[in-house]
Amino acid sequence: MCGIVGVWGPMADKRSVLQEGCRRMRHRGPDSEGYWEDSEAGLALGHVRLAILDLTPAGHQPMVSACGRYALVLNGEIYNHLQLRATLASQGQAPDWRGHSDTETVLAGFAAWGVEATLQAAVGMFAMALWDRQDRVLTLMRDRLGEKPLYLGYAGDTFVFASELKALARMPALDRSLDRRALSLLLRHNYIPAPYSIYAAVGKLLPGTLVQLTATHLRRRELPPAQTYWSVEGAAQAGREHPLSFDTDEAAVDALESVLGDAVQGQMIADVELGAFLSGGIDSSLIVALMQKAQSQPVRSFSIGFDDPAFNEAQHAAAVAQQLGTRHTELYVSADDALAVVPQLAGMYDEPFADSSQIPTVLVTRMARQHVTVALSGDGGDELFGGYSRYFRADQWWRKRAAIPAMLRGPLSAGARAAAGLLPTGHRRDRLDKLSQAMGAPHAGVFYRQFVSYWKDPATALINAQAPHTLFDDPGEGEFFQRMMQLDAATYLPDDILVKVDRAAMACSLETRVPMIDHRVFEFAQRLPLGYKIRDGRGKWLLRQLLYRHVPQAMVDRPKKGFSVPMAAWLRGPLQDWGAALLDPVRLRDGGIFHAAPVMQKWREHQAGKHDWSTHLWSVLMTQAWLEQTRINDSERGA
């Protein structure tokens, strides 16, 4: 795992600019720093390295190909790089290897096969920048499901890119005007999805895409359209066209064990200490079980616990660890430990990010980093195999919609909306709102967007709100249940779950890996008929059956708690003064971003215990905290 940064175009003292960018994301790569420049073309690359494969200087980046034509910076890991080396050798296209890093392997692949063929052959997580010195083409690439981040844009007449926004924030001539579209999406989802960032001048490369920039684009300050080499929708469509069938359920479990086991084993490649997060739930327990099956030595596993039993799962993780024979480490954290993280979040996450489970994620990654350099996680199981309880609730509403004749849905939606407006905040009003949304939605995507939104209408709280087109606006295809999972896999997974883990882990120089979203596992899941995911009113059926081969069913079959914190109580208690200061009405009005009245109304109702508005308030609080951190950074640098 590393951090990359680069510039192409007119800029004085590129080395100093990139050194500053590298310094600001040193946490992503504390082991070494590199710089390379094509002065004739005006392009420069910077890199900070967390050494995982080939710890010698032979893995140093930026790296130039053996033929001298290409220069590469890579953030991530190519898990099948040894197989790629073997293929290159069998074709007579392998260079004289200088070391055994995956960077050198993928660079040789680009030189031999070209960009698209190499990306299709690679199995891994990555964000890369490849410079073709001969044709003067800069290619930026991101992995299929978006594990590794990549920001890009223009600072004046210069094209810039980096792994983290903080590496770009001090670039000369960068316009740091806030993007109202991004803020609207933040209030709706509690995260800013790609291709948007908090800055209007900077975007994010979408997962599964590449951008190829030429000198012509640079002169015109244009960003060419991204080219898709893989997509969630494409994999889903292929799955619908070529569904799997099995003679028995056991055969289906065998098939999952094969594909997921291969992904887990492939992601255990490392020249440093490796372990895994273990919550005791279905997904993390299965990943750890397959890791333990793949090696003779006990797997290092990690979990955190809370004194509050409503949020604590540490005892379940310990039981699973004992069953599997792992070398388990757990840390019980107090409310004070968790609250101490809050002031650090704005700087850690680069832009406003409001999934409050970021707090325990920070704590568990810090604890794991004391023992290992790489940790595997069980993320992705819910999106692939139907694990979220909201899928079942939304599906019930959508079924009710289907039972109503189309000509009656509009009037019923209007009536439910009017009735809801007459009721105080509460369960009955929420149900009428859901009914109105289901009946009034033109298609499944719009309904699911409203179902998972926090601020249903961001314009009520955001000044000059702008609602951009997103994947939720597309009708899509397939069963409603599958459609929800696909939307989450393309939005919530890369832009919330993977962002949360990447920034928290990288802040303490820990590499995380997610076997469940190996693209081969994802494609397998897309080919599964829904009955292998949802059975007897429960999700993740096939994952459960595989886990039961390793862990007794009674040990892991329990209600899902999630990785959460008592934010509602904290905002009424130890975080009340902090929140009140950030949401001061004068401060809100002077900031020119939020309408003070609706925000303060929710704050007062929350403090009075009339309603739990913690998820809505957290997005506003994280934005205010980020703005304050930005102001402090500017004042310290005399900006």
* 308 has pLDDT over 80: no
Q: What is the mean pLDDT of the chain?
A: 94
Quote the pLDDT of residue 492: 98
Q: Helices 614-636 and 180-189, interaxial angle, to 10°?
A: 140
Predicted confidence (pLDDT) per residue in 441-460, tens digit: 899 999 999 999 999 999 99
Q: Are 4 and 46 in contact (CB under 8 A)?
A: yes
Quote the pLDDT of residue 563: 65
* 638 has pLDDT over 80: no
In the chain, the percentage of residues whose pLDDT exceeds 90 is 83
Predicted confidence (pLDDT) per residue in 411-424, tens digit: 988 988 888 888 78
CA distances from 534 to 268, 282, 479, 544, 553 (A): 30, 14, 13, 11, 17
Predicted confidence (pLDDT) per residue in 76-117, tens digit: 999 999 999 999 999 999 999 999 999 999 999 999 999 999
Question: How many C-beta atoms surround the C-beta of residue 174 within 10 A?
Answer: 18
For 233-385+492-556, which CATH class? alpha beta
Predicted confidence (pLDDT) per residue in 570-580, tens digit: 999 999 999 99
Phi, psi of 190 (to 5 degrees): 70, 15
Quote the pLDDT of residue 160: 98
* 536 has pLDDT over 60: yes
Most confident of 48-62, 319-333, 621-635: 319-333
User: CATH number of 2-229: 3.60.20.10, 3.30.70.260, 2.40.50.100, 3.10.310.10?
Assistant: 3.60.20.10
Domain regions of the chain by residue span? 2-229, 233-385+492-556, 389-487, 567-636
Quote the pLDDT of residue 558: 78
The model's confidence at residue 636, banded by pLDDT at 50, 70 and 90, is: low
- Average confidence (pLDDT) over 33-46: 97
152 bridge partner residues: 161, 203
The model's confidence at residue 562, banded by pLDDT at 50, 70 and 90, is: low
276: enclosing H helix or E strand:
strand 274-277
Quote the pLDDT of residue 639: 47
- Average confidence (pLDDT) over 427-440: 84
Active site residues: 2
H helix and E strand count, the chain: 29, 17
The model's confidence at residue 434, banded by pLDDT at 50, 70 and 90, is: confident
* 5 has pLDDT over 90: yes
